[in-house]
Structure 1
Amino acid sequence: MMKLRLTLLLLFSFTMVTFAQQRDTLYVWPGAVPGENVPKQDPVQTDNTSGDVTRITDITNPALIVFEPEEALKNGAAVIVCPGGGYNILAIDKEGYEVAEWLNTLGYTAFVLQYRVPNKQQEALYDLQRSIRMVRSREAWEKVGVIGFSAGGNLAARAGTRFREDTYARIDEWDETSSRPDFAMLIYPAYLDKGDNRSLSPELSVDQDTPPMFIFGTADDTYGNSSLVMAGALRDHKVPVELHLLPEGGHGYGLRSGNIAAETWPSLAESWLNQWQE
Structure 2
Amino acid sequence: MSLVIYSMGRAQEHEVIDLWPSEVPGQSESKAPVVFSEDTRGNVTRIAKVTKPVLVVYEPASALKNGAAVIICPGGGYNILAIDLEGYEVAEWLSGLGYTAFVLQYRVPQNRAGALQDAQRAIRYVRGISEERGIDPNKVGILGFSAGGSLSARASTRYLEDSYAAVDALDKLSARPDFTALIYPAYLDQGPDRSLSPELRLSDETAPMFLFVAADDRFANSCLVMSSALQLQKVPFELHVLAHGGHGFGMRSGNHAAETWPKLCEEWLNVTVLKK
Q: Could you say which TM-score interval applies, normalised by the shorter chain?
A: over 0.9
Tell me the residue number matched to 1:272. 268
Inter-partner Cα distance in structure 2 for 1:17 and 1:26: 23
2:4 maps to 1:15: no
- Which secondary structure state, in structure 1, belongs to the residue aligned with residue 182 of structure 2? strand
SS at match of 1:263: helix
| 1:175-194 matched pairs, under 5 angstroms | 175-194=171-190
Where in structure 2 are there 5+ consecutive unaligned residues?
1-5
Aligned to 1:145: 141
| Residue 67 of structure 2: aligned partner | 76
TM-score (norm 2): 0.94
Please state how far the C-alpha of 1:102 moved relative to its aligned partner.
0.4
Contact 1:218 1:224 in 2 (8 A): yes
Alignment correspondent of 2:3: none
Partner of 2:255: 259
Q: SS of the counterpart of 1:217? A: strand
Secondary structure of 1:270's aligned partner: helix
Any residues of structure 2 matched to 1:167-206 within 5 Å, and which? Answer: 167-206=163-202
Q: How does 1:221-240 map to 2 (within 5 A)?
A: 221-240=217-236
Deviation at 1:120, TM superposition (A): 0.1
Any idea what SS the aligned residue of 1:65 has? strand
Letter of the structure 1 residue corresponding to residue 206 of structure 2: T
Which of 38, 44, 49 is matched with 2:40 structurally?
Answer: 49
Q: Percent identity?
A: 59
Instruction: Compute the displacement of 1:16 (Å).
Output: 4.5
TM superposition shift of 1:19: 4.6
Q: Number of aligned pairs? A: 265
2:17 aligns with: 26
Name 1:3's counterpart in structure 2: none
SS in 2 for 1:24: strand
Aligned partner of 1:91 in structure 2 is 82
- Secondary structure in 2 aligned to 1:72? coil
Q: Higher helix share goes to which structure?
A: 1
Query: What is the deviation of 1:15?
Result: 2.9
- Offset, 1:17: 11
8 Å contact kept, 1:49–1:55: yes
Give the equivalent residue in structure 2 for 1:136: 127
Q: Structure 2: how far apart are the matches of 1:267 and 1:222?
A: 23
Letter of the 1:270 partner, please give it: E
| Mapped partners of 1:188, 1:19: distance in 2 | 29
Instruction: Tell me what 1:8 maps to.
Output: none
Residues 17 and 44 (structure 1), Cα distance of their counterparts in 2 relative to 1, 3 Å cut: farther
TM-score, reference length from structure 1: 0.93
1:208 maps to 204
Q: 1:122 aligned to 113, 116, 121, which one?
A: 113
1:106 equivalent in structure 2? 97
Aligned residue for 1:34, secondary structure, equals coil
The alignment's C-alpha RMSD in Å is: 1.4
Amino acid at match of 1:41: A
- Aligned equivalent of 1:6: none
Rate the CA distance shift 1:19–1:57 in 2: closer, same or farther, 3 A: farther
Letter in 2 for 1:77: A
AA at the equivalent of 2:28: N
Alignment partners' CA distance in 1, 2:23 and 2:243: 46
Question: Offset of 1:38 from its aligned partner?
Answer: 1.4
Aligned-partner SS, 1:116:
coil
Shift of 1:18: 8.7
